[in-house]
Amino acid sequence: MMIFVWVLIGFGIYYMLKEQRGTGFRSGGQSGPEEVLKQRYATGEIDEETFVRMMKTIKG
């Protein structure tokens, strides 16, 4: 029975550490605005005119 408790505690610690590592800024799947815009253009979500206009806005 005691081993079961330790296994549960181990899984809990592992899960918390795993979640904590993935929440930082630009870690893993998060991208900056330019990358998101490039991705939207590449997938056809926005046209070239919109891409250029939004890129100018981002760069200031």
Given this model, what pLDDT does residue 29 score?
A: 56
The pLDDT of residue 54: 93
pLDDT by residue for the chain (60 residues), tens only, comes to 889 899 889 988 888 887 776 555 544 555 789 999 999 999 999 999 999 999 999 888
Global pTM reads: 0.50
At a CB cut-off of 8 Å and minimum separation 6, what does 41 contact? Answer: 48, 51
**Residue ranges per structural domain of the chain:** 31-60
Report pLDDT for 21: 67
> What integer pLDDT is reported at residue 16 of this predicted model?
82
- DSSP conformational letter for 23: T
Q: Within a 10 A sphere around the Cβ of 37, how many other Cβ atoms?
A: 19
CA–CA dist 30, 53 (Å, integer): 23
